[in-house]
């Protein structure tokens, strides 16, 4: 399956430096009703944009008051985010944003490689013409968003692309695992973009290569492409974390 870890930015400042459209990247929280999934999605975005930082405690009462929702909705949302590996709920201490460190990043990408190479083999053997038309159309959209500097649209389409690539996964557990790991992959991809917009170019190049291998039904070539890109982005994320730590030590 073509790997499409969505490369996104760690801070709004970095987005502006890269000349991407950043109007309202974090939309105001406007719940139609106090559903835990809505709260979970909002907190997920706060973590991705580092408004809630690595290792930071998420105060249930403060968050409920800030979002004008019930304590129960926040509590349920935190359980959802724990399942997605974004927070840890520690008994008698509270919920904390999962620490983003080298071990976490390597473990994440290793797991994603295992699952995505499995689904890639099924896709390359079973795809139908309509599947390739859909993937090619999404790839073209991502190119257009890149040229227009529409980063968030690029990200959303990257997620849609990967979901479309799971068409033949035919395995509930693998699909569920990928969906639960995806928010952490998105979080890491924000960090990767600190390297600059070359990360976006790399993403598109690897997607193009993946599509070419799919057209050829080149199973081993597709697996190499998936593995190489995942490993490359893993190292980019770790390099950014190391630079951040070095800057903090020097401050």
What confidence tens digit (pLDDT) does each residue in 51-73 have? Answer: 999 999 999 999 999 999 999 99
Tell me how far CA of residue 147 lies from CA of 7, 66, 141, 151, 160, in angstroms: 15, 37, 10, 10, 19
What confidence tens digit (pLDDT) does each residue in 143-181 have? Answer: 999 999 888 888 889 888 988 888 888 889 999 999 899
Structure confidence at residue 248 (pLDDT): 78
Residues 6 or more apart whose CB falls under 8 angstroms from that of 160 comprise 138
Q: In what order do the strands lie in the sheet with 57-58?
A: 57-58, 94-97, 87-90
- Percent share of the chain, pLDDT over 70: 86
Could you tell me the residue range of the domain that residue 179 belongs to?
Answer: 12-18+101-250
**Last-in-domain residue among 47, 82, 97:** 97
Instruction: Report yes or no on 246 lying in a domain.
Output: yes
Q: Which residue has the higher pLDDT, 5 or 41?
A: 41
Are 189 and 7 a contacting pair, CB within 8 Å? Answer: yes
Give the CATH number for residue 119: 1.20.120.530
Instruction: Report yes or no on 122 lying in a domain.
Output: yes
Categorize the per-residue pLDDT at 192 as very low, low, confident or very high, splitting at 50, 70 and 90.
confident
Structure confidence at residue 148 (pLDDT): 94
Instruction: Report yes or no on 72 lying in a domain.
Output: yes
Residues 143 and 93 in one domain: no
Rounded CA-CA distance 223/3 in Å is 10
Number of domain units in the chain: 2
Q: What is the dihedral of CA 149, 150, 155, 159, to 10 degrees?
A: -120
Residues 178 and 110 in one domain: yes
Instruction: Report yes or no on 29 lying in a domain.
Output: no
Tell me how far CA of residue 51 lies from CA of 96, 193, 196, 208, 228, in angstroms: 13, 17, 21, 33, 31
Here the contacts of 193-199 (C-beta below 8 Å, separation 24 or greater) are 193/7, 193/8, 193/9, 193/10, 193/14, 193/18, 194/9, 194/10, 194/14, 194/240, 194/243, 195/236, 195/239, 195/240, 196/18, 197/18, 197/20, 199/7, 199/233, 199/236
pTM of the model: 0.82
Residues 124 and 144 in one domain: yes
Give the CATH number for residue 60: 1.10.10.10
**Last-in-domain residue among 81, 97, 113:** 97
Residues 142 and 53 in one domain: no
What confidence tens digit (pLDDT) does each residue in 84-137 have? Answer: 999 999 998 999 999 999 999 999 999 999 999 999 999 999 999 999 999 999
Residues 144 and 130 in one domain: yes
Residues 118 and 166 in one domain: yes
Length of the chain: 251
Structure confidence at residue 62 (pLDDT): 93
Residues 73 and 110 in one domain: no
Residues 133 and 232 in one domain: yes
Q: Which residue has the higher pLDDT, 47 or 163?
A: 47
**Last-in-domain residue among 69, 97, 125:** 97
């Amino acid at each position: 399956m073509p790997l499409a870890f969505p490369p996104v930015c760690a801070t709004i400042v970095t987005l502006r430096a890269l000349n991407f459209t950043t109007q309202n990247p974090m939309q105001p929280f406007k719940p139609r009703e106090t559903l835990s999934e809505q709260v979970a999605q909002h907190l997920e975005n706060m973590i991705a944009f580092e408004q809630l930082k690595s290792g930071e405690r998420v105060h249930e009462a403060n968050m409920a008051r800030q979002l004008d929702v019930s304590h129960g909705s926040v509590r349920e949302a935190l359980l959802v985010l724990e399942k997605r590996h974004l927070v840890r709920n520690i008994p008698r201490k509270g919920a904390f944003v999962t620490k983003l460190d080298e071990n976490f990043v390597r473990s994440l990408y290793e797991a994603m490689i295992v699952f995505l190479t499995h689904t890639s083999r099924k896709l390359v053997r079973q795809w139908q013409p309509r599947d390739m038309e859909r993937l090619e159309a999404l790839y073209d959209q991502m190119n257009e968003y890149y040229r227009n500097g529409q980063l968030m649209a690029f990200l959303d389409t990257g997620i849609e692309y990967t979901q479309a690539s799971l068409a033949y996964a035919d395995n509930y557990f693998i699909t569920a695992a990928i969906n639960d790991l995806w928010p952490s992959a998105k979080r890491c991809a924000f960090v990767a973009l600190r390297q600059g917009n070359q990360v976006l170019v790399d993403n598109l190049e690897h997607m193009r290569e993946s599509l070419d291998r799919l057209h050829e039904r080149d199973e081993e070539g597709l697996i190499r492409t998936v593995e190489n890109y995942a490993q490359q982005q893993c190292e980019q994320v770790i390099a950014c974390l190391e630079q951040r730590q070095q800057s903090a030590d020097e401050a």
